[in-house]
Amino acid sequence: MGNPMTEQTQTSNATPSEQDNTGKKSDIIRVEGMHKWYGDFHVLKDLNLTVAQGERIVICGPSGSGKSTFIRCINRLEEHQQGKIIVDDVELTDDVRQIDTVRREVGMVFQHFNLFPHLTVLENCCLSPIWVRKIPRKEAEATAMEYLERVKIPDQALKYPGQLSGGQQQRVAIARALCMKPKIMLFDEPTSALDPEMIKEVLDVMIELAGSGMTMLCVTHEMGFAKTVADRVIFMDGGEIVEEAPPHEFFTNPREARTQKFLQQILAH
Amino acid sequence: MAESTMKPPKKALSPVKWMREHLFSTWYNALLTLAVGYLLVTSVGPLLNWLLFEANFQGQDASDCTGAGACWLFISQRLNFFIYGFYPDELQWRVDAMFLLLAIAFVPQFIERFPGRKWLGIFGMTGLPIIGYFLIPGGTFGLEVVESTKWGGLMLTLILAYIGILASLPIGILLALGRRSEMPIIRGLSVVFIEVWRAVPLITVLFMASVMLPLFLPEGVNFEKLARALIGITLWQSAYMAEVIRGGLQAIPRGQYEAADALGLGYWRKMGLVILPQALKMVIPGIVNTFISLFKDTTLVLIIGLFDVLGTVQSTVTDPAWQNVAIEGYVFVAFCFWVFCFGISRYSQNLERKLDTGHKT
Amino acid sequence: MKKQTIDSRPAGPKPWYDPRVRSLFFQVVAIALVFWAGWTLVENTLANMESRGISTGFGFLDETAGFGIIMSLIPYDATMTYGRTFWVGLTNTLLVSAMGIVAATILGFIIGVARLSSNWLVAKVSLVYIEVIRNIPLLLQIFFWYFAVLGALPSPRQSIDVGGTMFLNNRGLYVPEPLTQDGFGLVWWALAIAIAAVVGIRIWAKKRQLATGQIFPTFKVGVALLVLLPAIAYFAAGSPLEWEVPALKGFNFGGGITIIPELAALWVALSLYTGSFIAEIVRSGILSVSKGQTEAAKALGLPNGLTLRLVVIPQAMRVIIPPLTSQYLNLAKNSSLATAIGYPDLVAVFMGTTLNQTGQAVEVVAITMAVYLTISLSISLFMNIYNRAVAIKER
């Protein structure tokens, strides 16, 4: 599914935006031949990925495989040194303006929530809409309340993050990202730092979000979530994309030896 | 679950038992207790006698100091000078008004749950200095001019410390951001600035401000001595401030920076809305501590000829009309400083404890 | 393919949107500002100095100073140069700093440990000492000791006599000066041998412990050796040491060693003041070693003394040493308060009298600041080396 698209776009990227607007409108993320190094350490090797609008992708792999680094490149929290990343027709280059544009359109949820502890839940959600999108405070607060209701914690709006449980904090973090009305949501191991009984409440919110047609890239070890929600599962190891398949195929009939070994280890538990 | 009504057995400590446990637990503890106790008994009695029981409080001049104890008369007679310096008597209401405002702004900070104490604090940092800028020197709004050479005493001490800390705060923030910047030249310049000022004693800075500043400025431009001292103090203090604030910036987890980036906030918004509010709150105890040390260090201005509270006392203890009042004078100044510094340091310790627990939950 | 990649980035970012260009721009602006400010300052200063008839350069250092200094560790009199006054001031600064550091450290460690004493009275007295002393300005304390205490001492004729050998009056403290005679070299040799023997015993004791597990009382034997050997040598050589006792000659004392009141007041005030800060550092350093560590040591069966020596102190020292060095630095800087009472330290002599007489403000201030910068940077350097050593141990 992914490969023919990549080829097509590669052959016709003289004026990518025009082409995409007419032909492949559904392509929202394109990563082409992307490499990244930390010093001399080659973390990401020749990654290619195309994500269509509304697609839900789960990225998994052993720790240190570069999966977090990869999605952090997509909103430029990490810089890539070679290849191209095009998000919503905007290529990520050194251009500050383009980085800002991409970050506006891409929401991110972190493993450790990273809520701002000095602001209330509501203020956390309104900060960026007010200062970056320049939305009037009233309107921003109304939107924020809407999203807080969607993640089922409108009653906590005036509390500070420190007063909430981990699961609640992570749901606030999702609401905060949604308040920017992003086109894409990135999830960087959103449930890894949570106690087991809180994982479900966060996954429920993510499943609901997936049902609404949001484009999602999730780095996660929750294989159940991958099975029910993902359109595609990507397996990374050693900084490479090893395998890429729809979930039923990925789980029942993995092609690569490395994938098989990884699945054995994970499903043994 | 039924609430247990059982209480832990109380360990009743009789005075004798308490003393055995806390004063005479071992033979060397007993010896130590006796030695220290002896020293205390022999020194505290005469000290109290001198300070209070045999001291002189009533009278007009030195001849009324007949008792064997301290001559507090000297302090009460010269109190006006020690507080206001040469500020004209009939205009001292202006200084009093500032003292009052200062108290209104900052005393509530010691009382938890005082309504609106945050706003009073903000007023103290912004409105108060503006009012003071017009009120103390005069010259506007029909207020009579009082030259800065007439300012002195406790009032001058407070002005120096207050302006020093307030002015050094923004410079310190910029320097701290500069030192953590990714631009090597900006970082280098900040490091050099900070380290040079921190390396030299305040006296050399004050000397420099009073001797060299006039040389640095174009001919015809000159500042009063007080302004020169303030420039020196501010530059010096901002280096210390920068290091305190840098500590706070370093303590903010990386995730906060990343979350702000991911939301698309630019550098200044990220710093202004997310990082600095947290970092500054975290370092309030540190800022208060630098304030305490600056407050004590303001006494050094007497070396370049300004009359702070120690300066006014030092210049009067040699007055031949009063004999041997040096100790009284020093005890008075020491008491002034001690009350301020001890009170403020208690406040910052409380804050530290509160912040400590606040972060764990 | 290559052409295509270039095509895909039509123009690249506009320069003013490229963070690298931006950062370069800011840095160039910063450098330009600094240079502009520096240039203006230099220009103004040169113009001002010319109009005031002040010459520039360091030539004044070779001119005759022509003023006396009340205390000097190196030979000095008024016929010597301004350059010499610099060295006199510097050695005086180093002297009072070193004396202060030693006294403040001893005092601080005693008070800091006393603050944690199980003896209620001792702990409270230490607390009162710390809270009183560190909340009173140092300058005030110096004044107190100099004017109120030492200034109230009697004149030389009514000196306080301590055992007929030491005399205390308002001109200072006079103590006998030891004069070594022929044969004193033997004592030095004995001391050297004792030190070598202690090192040898230590190595031997360690080896024996490794082999047999027996612990040798190195410390006690070492102290005994260090005291006894030189003492035996001293008496064997026929007590080759004479004391020059100060004696009243005319209006003042002569002979012996004089500690001038300026030095004494500065030393006492600096030590007491810095000692109170060091006490707090020591206390929090000891408290920083978590209770779990003491408990673990006790669970292993170590007695209290060994727990302290092997577990608590090594960990506490790591916490104590960095702030301790910054207190030393503070003490060295605070010694410049000498100016206020006339102790001839670097700032008083060089930045004070020399500057006033020559008017060479820029040069003198620059030299003085450079001295303090050197002291400070060398202490920082030492700190960094120390931190690195500690960090390696942690792995």
CATH number for position B232:
1.10.3720.10
Nearest CA among B191, B149, B172, B281 for reference residue B233: B172
- Asked whether residue B168 is assigned to any structural domain, the reply reads yes
- Asked whether residue B30 is assigned to any structural domain, the reply reads no
How many Å is the Cα radius of gyration of chain C? 29
- The segment with the largest mean pLDDT, out of B197-201, C9-13, C17-21, is B197-201
Please give the pLDDT value at position A30.
92
Please determine, for residue A6, whether its predicted confidence score (pLDDT) is greater than 50: no
- Asked whether residue B57 is assigned to any structural domain, the reply reads no
What is the C-alpha to C-alpha distance for residues B19 and C147, in angstroms, rounded to an integer?
41
* Cβ separation B219–C148 shorter than 8 A: no
- Asked whether residue B106 is assigned to any structural domain, the reply reads no
Determine the 3-state secondary structure of C204 from DSSP: helix
Task: Give contacts of B 239-298 with C, CB under 8 A.
Answer: 292, 296-297
pLDDT average, residue stretch A155-176: 92
Separation in Å, CA of A204 to nearest CA in chain B: 23
- Asked whether residue B116 is assigned to any structural domain, the reply reads no
Separation in Å, CA of C1 to nearest CA in chain A: 10
Report which of residues C190 and C391 the model is more confident about. C190
Q: Which domain holds residue B226?
A: 146-355
For the residues of C24-59, what is the DSSP string, one character each? HHHHHHHHHHHHHHHHHHHHHHHHHHHHHT---SSG
Domain count, chain B: 1
pLDDT average, residue stretch C18-24: 81
- Asked whether residue B155 is assigned to any structural domain, the reply reads yes
- Asked whether residue B297 is assigned to any structural domain, the reply reads yes
pLDDT, tens only, A14-68: 444 444 444 445 789 999 999 999 888 999 999 999 999 999 999 999 988 999 9
Which structure tokens are listed for A181? 């009305």
Q: What is the predicted ipTM?
A: 0.86
Please give the pLDDT value at position B357.
53
pLDDT, tens only, C235-289: 888 777 778 888 777 767 777 788 888 998 999 999 999 999 999 999 998 888 8
Contact A206, A29 (CB under 8 A): no
Residue in C4, C7, C13 closest to A94 by CB: C13
Contact C61, C82 (CB under 8 A): yes
- Asked whether residue B323 is assigned to any structural domain, the reply reads yes
pLDDT average, residue stretch A76-88: 89
Please give the pLDDT value at position C388.
75
Report yes or no: A111 at the C interface, CB cutoff 8 Å. Answer: no
Contact A73, A80 (CB under 8 A): yes
Separation in Å, CA of A3 to nearest CA in chain B: 29
* Cβ separation A96–C13 shorter than 8 A: yes
Beta bridge partners of C180: C241
pLDDT average, residue stretch A161-169: 91
Report yes or no: B261 at the A interface, CB cutoff 8 Å. Answer: yes
Please give the pLDDT value at position C315.
83
Report yes or no: A267 at the C interface, CB cutoff 8 Å. Answer: no
Angle (deg, nearest 10), helices A121-131 and A137-150: 130
pLDDT, tens only, B70-118: 778 777 778 888 888 888 888 788 888 888 888 888 888 777 777 877 7
| Beta strand A82-87 pairing with A27-38 | antiparallel
Nearest CA among B199, B192, B137 for reference residue B163: B137
Report yes or no: B182 at the A interface, CB cutoff 8 Å. Answer: no
pLDDT average, residue stretch C76-101: 89
Instruction: With a cut of 50, list the residues of chain B below it in pLDDT.
Output: 1, 358-361
